[in-house]
Amino acid sequence: MPKRFPRCAASSPNRRSDVVSIRHFGQPPAVDREIAAGDARWRVPEETPVALICNGRNYAVMLATPADLADYAVGFSLTERVVADVSDIEAIDIHQELRGVDIRLTLTSDAIERFDARQQRRNLVGRAGCGVCGVENAETFFERLPRVSEQKAKIDAAALLRAAADLARHQPLNARTRTVHAAAFASPDGEILLAREDVGRHNALDKLLGALALSGSPTASGFVVMSSRCSYEIVEKSARAGIEAILSLSAPTAFAINKAEEANIALYVISSARAVAIGR
């Protein structure tokens, strides 16, 4: 059976399903703006403080592009183990504030009990940095990741090259600004099915994984495409989502390679117009 995040079919902007209610309050901010650069005019992306609040408890404040924030809330909450699955979230209220965005999650009673217990441990060592939010101590980095499959995925080179070549078509914000990262999900034959953008590569991946979770899309019947390098947090988040293969357009880090081997995730990179498998 293909692996899935639990399904939550819905439509925007104010979404309602049997699993989670998603509502927006206030005027959404622009995702980019025009500035003067000498005699030229440039478009630059916005970077906005985004606070995640769970049943009134502050969890983290991240900097992110203020788009697809419901997807971001779900993906971040799942990959950072704030919740175990989408059904732990009863509601997502997105409030546009004067100096940022508040994402207010309403968790189930069981989920908030687990959240509070984890917060007590987390608060002993202070706040974690962006991209590895929720880390309780250095040993967390060396916890074994779940194996996504017994047999490592093999993606055809033609499919990898097709996805890499098609990625730009799914990056409208980057087309305007030439500045933001993208994370996409492609079918086994390389067709890009879904993509999300953000100034942070891990944010883009969280948005993508959240969108997949909300749509109930299988996560093991294709591969993730990253416009950037593949670092530790990209592998960790992908492993927790059941992603079996990652294509990055820039080289992975050594730690990412080690963790991908541990999770049995197939890593690929584009080098000299070729798709190259990394690791064993």
Show which residues are catalytic. Answer: 130
CB contact set of 170 (below 8 Å; sequence gap of 6+): 182, 184, 192, 195
Q: Are strands 48-54 and 181-186 parallel, antiparallel or unpaired?
A: unpaired
CB contact set of 178 (below 8 Å; sequence gap of 6+): none
DSSP notation for 22-84: EEEESPPPPSEEEEEETTEEEEEE--EEEEEEETTEEEEEEEE-SSSHHHHHHHHHHHTTSSS
